[in-house]
Amino acid sequence: MFKYYLQLAVHSLKRYPVLTGLMVLAIAVGIGASMTTLTVMHLLSGNPMPGKSGKLFYAQVDADTDNSYPHKDPLDMLDYRSAMDLWSAHKADRQTLIIDSSVKVVAPDSQLPPLMRTMLSTTSDFFPMFDVPFQYGQAWTAEQGQRHARVAVISAALNRKLFGGANSVGRTLRIRGADVRIVGVLAQWRPSPVFYKVVGGRFGAATNGRFYGDTEDVMMPVGTGIDLNDGHFEPFTCWDLPEHAGHLTHAGCAWVGLWVQLDSPAKVTAYHEFLTHYAQQQKQLGRFTHTDVRLRDLMQWLTFNQVVPPDVKLQTSLAFAFLLICLFNTVGLLLAKFLRRSGEIGLRRALGATRASVFAQCLVEAGLVGVLGGIGGWVLTLVGLWAVRQQPVAYANLAHMDLSMFALTFLLSVLVAVLAGALPAARASRTAPALHLKTL
Amino acid sequence: MTVHPIIAALRRHKAGVILIGLQIALTLAIVCNAVFIIGQRISRVDRPTGINESNLFLVTQQYVGAPSSDTKAGADKLDTMELEDAAALRQLPSVAKVSVISSMPLLNSAWNGGMSTKPQAKSGFKMTTYYFGDQNMLSTLGAQLVAGRDFNAGDVQHAGFRTDAKRPVVIVTQSLAHKLFPNGSALGKTVYMDGSGSPSTIIGIVKRLQTPSTSDWASSFAYDSTLIPTRKDAFFSRYLVRAKPGQMKAAMAAAHDALFKVNPMRVIDDDMGIRSFASIRAEAYKQDVSMAILMGAVCIILLALTAAGIVGLTSFWVGQRTKQIGVRRALGARGIDILRYFQLENLFIAGMGVVVGLLLAIGVNQWLVQHFEMDRMPLGYLFVGVLVVLVLGQLAVFVPARRASRVPPVTATRSV
């Protein structure tokens, strides 16, 4: 029976090729637009550390003594002293500092000119805490970090650029004129967003696409990084200008991020108390004027920073409204088409066809339109994602369809097809046979 | 013609009427808001910078192995190098004017600060962006001075990038002047920057000069610029160059070679090193432009889709009612009466859609205001949207309606 209905459907659709084309195109465009934007949304609002994000927390205390503005939230980063105090207390299961800066890098044994690259000054916990994958070698040890050892871990991209992708562990890198030894090379690693350096997102949400760029090319222990690059650090903000700009360790500037790993809810509570206690103690010492602290987990921190650019959200809402209109359009046209055939349907009913079989026949025709539209929509989604990849945004090269999005596209097509078909089919199956037989 | 038969007929096609009505409503809601967004983006892109944008390009370069600008000797050396560069550029035959400058409008590289009318202020700052450079800044930018005087060579000093030098004279924009001194002229008045105690005198007022930042958070002081006649010495420097008319390309190529001839120990990035102002502008607004294009495309597709839907549905109705049309024609209705019938019917459906659509459009706008910090939509957009949708409906219905009006009266006597 299904095969026969299918033949009828194909025949019926072929009778009005322009109309059929219009319905298929409407569904295809609607699905293409929705799935393109939804894939981008999915990509941008995803969890960069699935399974672990609930244990990773961003700690904030308020060292800013400038009282000319309301301290609604502590600053997005810490001053050097608070960061070092909190980090060296080792009250969390793991803790790591984040300082971002740019450095001039030369590989003495390569012929390449100096490169300006981003450098992350961090601690040895960074790598196990964020499950950073290594291609060669390993991270530096805590002890090496303590004594400011001249060691570095480099990104896969920099390793390719400088050493052609070979194992470069043990080779030398010249950073701001000092030689450091490479101890590890990362495998391809691209958390999306680069969550650990997300700060200040709520101040310029339109440009938050920047959080989806690349990770740093050079990673060094905090002490070593500050030794080598002092004078070139950019503060998040300052309330007390440094004596020599760029030398921030003793200045009233926020420029260090602190991430902690807390494995149980009890530890989270304890760490929050520890932060509060620290802030109160610093206030008593006269160093702080505010005792507000924050301990947001990874996803809360990303939400707080509004990492998904508003333009992307807007486009997604728009695409779904668009799909809805396409759906109305198709339903309306199918309905008119089926009702036009009232006479034919009346005859079938009079000859003994049940309502269910009329419904089934109409649904097959509607479903066929949906399936064709779905296939078109899938193709348009691929085209749409290609278009996104041509956009000048940091996340452009991430825009690919993954398996879950592929499945969702398929599901959405079927859902749209059934929705578009069910109402007209139901309406057509209620055709009263007698009335329409009379008009024949 | 009475509307009674139309309403009676529509009652028999409830589902179809509701669907096409809803489609019109949603289209109206989205098109109004999309056009409003396009309008906002375009007005953002179109706002004037206050400078003469033609024949202007910016050179950004870095010295290799430069001395530290934190020492007096280092800063002096860097300053000499900058002056040599500027002089070399000025000598090019295709170049009209050159200025050493820290940034320029739309470059998105800004040095912001707070200005106050009181010394050592702790609060009550007016946000501003500083442009550091030499006496040629204003004339090379082509910004218009409305009061006071431009800087002269005697005003210009130089200081290391991070060294806090005194700023005895400044030029501010009219917008900033008005914020600082709402009741009267700012010319000759004293201001203090970033809570310092050292006074600066306003010697000139510029009509309009946009700040480098185009991001939302800086929009409250987008025209509050301050010009400071200090060359900031650093390992990098920027030169603003105005080429002679028609010689832009030649000047950009010559600038590159001239700088390397003066001193080869430098890096000029292939893409970002020498940029025309047109490319700086395109870069600053690329997101707004692509959003506006997207919205425009969505509007066109939606309107086309709705029109196609109306054509399709009306065509079916015409087909379905051929016999009735024949009967009406046989009873004396003219072709124009049939045409008017379908046009009026469409107007009726579109009218209902428009009523729902207006409410939806306002609702969508309200939602955008809440979630995307957008402005409230002026009623004009709604008015134009309604007009567009109604006219579109009439145009779409015309083809099938005309076909209906040509149904011959004899159809009534035939079996279908």
Q: Within its chain, how far is the Cα of A60 from the centroid?
A: 23
Contact B309 A439 (CB under 8 A): no
Q: Which of B368, B116, B48 is nearest to A321 (CA)?
A: B368
Closest CA in chain A for residue B318: A340
Closest CA in chain B for residue A343: B320
Contact A217, A194 (CB under 8 A): no
A432 touches chain B (CB under 8 A): no
Mutate to test the interface with A, among B27, B68, B126, B316 (most CBs of A within 10 A): B316
Q: How far is B111 from chain A (nearest CA, A)?
A: 12
Contact A336 B16 (CB under 8 A): yes
| Average pLDDT for chain B | 89
A341 touches chain B (CB under 8 A): no
Closest CA in chain B for residue A18: B312
Mutate to test the interface with B, among A16, A112, A248, A329 (most CBs of B within 10 A): A329
- Please report the pLDDT score of residue B82 as a whole number: 93
- Please report the pLDDT score of residue A353 as a whole number: 85
Contact B34 A318 (CB under 8 A): yes
Strand partners, A174: A106, A179
DSSP string, B263-284: -SSEE--TTTTEEEHHHHHHHH
Contact B15 A427 (CB under 8 A): yes
Residue ranges of the domains in chain A? 2-45+309-439, 53-304
Q: CA-CA distance, A19 to A13, in Å (whole number)?
A: 8
Comparing CB atoms, the residue among B27, B37, B267 nearest residue A325 is B27
Contact A428, A362 (CB under 8 A): yes
**How many other C-beta atoms are found inside a 10 Å radius of the C-beta of residue A322?**
25
B45 touches chain A (CB under 8 A): no
Residues B332-355 have pLDDT tens digits of 888 899 999 999 999 999 999 999
- Please report the pLDDT score of residue B320 as a whole number: 79
- Please report the pLDDT score of residue A42 as a whole number: 86
Is the torsion defined by CA of A87, A88, A89, A92 positive or negative? positive
A81 touches chain B (CB under 8 A): no
Mutate to test the interface with B, among A318, A327, A431, A440 (most CBs of B within 10 A): A318
Contact map slice: A 113-152 vs B, CB within 8 A: 113-114
Instruction: Tell me the average pLDDT across B151-168.
Output: 87
- Please report the pLDDT score of residue A243 as a whole number: 65
A19 touches chain B (CB under 8 A): yes
Contact A231 B68 (CB under 8 A): yes
- Please report the pLDDT score of residue B93 as a whole number: 94
Contact B372 A336 (CB under 8 A): no
Contact B372 A313 (CB under 8 A): yes
- Percent of chain B scoring above 70 in pLDDT: 99
Q: Which residue has the higher pLDDT, B324 or B58?
A: B58
Q: Which residue has the higher pLDDT, B315 or A128?
A: A128
Burial call B376-396: b when 16+ CB within 10 Å, e when fewer: ebeeebbeebbebbbebbeeb
Residues 6+ apart with CB under 8 A from B44: B285, B288
Contact A244 B216 (CB under 8 A): no
Give alpha helix (H) positions in B163-285: 174-180, 248-262, 277-284
Structure token pair of residue B331? 């009873």
Contact B407, B338 (CB under 8 A): yes
Contact A328 B23 (CB under 8 A): yes
Contact A68 B123 (CB under 8 A): yes
B307 touches chain A (CB under 8 A): no
Contact map slice: B 197-216 vs A, CB within 8 A: 215-216
Mutate to test the interface with A, among B106, B127, B162, B324 (most CBs of A within 10 A): B162
Q: How far is B362 from chain A (nearest CA, A)?
A: 15
- Please report the pLDDT score of residue A439 as a whole number: 58
Positions in chain A whose pLDDT score sits under 70: 68, 204-206, 241-246, 435-440
Comparing CB atoms, the residue among A19, A336, A427 nearest residue B317 is A336
Provide the number of CB pairs (under 8 Å) joining chain A to chain B: 114
- Is the pLDDT at B416 greater than 50? The verdict is no
pTM (2 decimals)? 0.78
| Residues from chain B contacting residue A311 (CB–CB below 8 Å) | 287, 291
Give alpha helix (H) positions in B55-183: 72-90, 137-141, 174-180
Structure token pair of residue A4? 């026969």
Contact map slice: A 379-408 vs B, CB within 8 A: 391-393
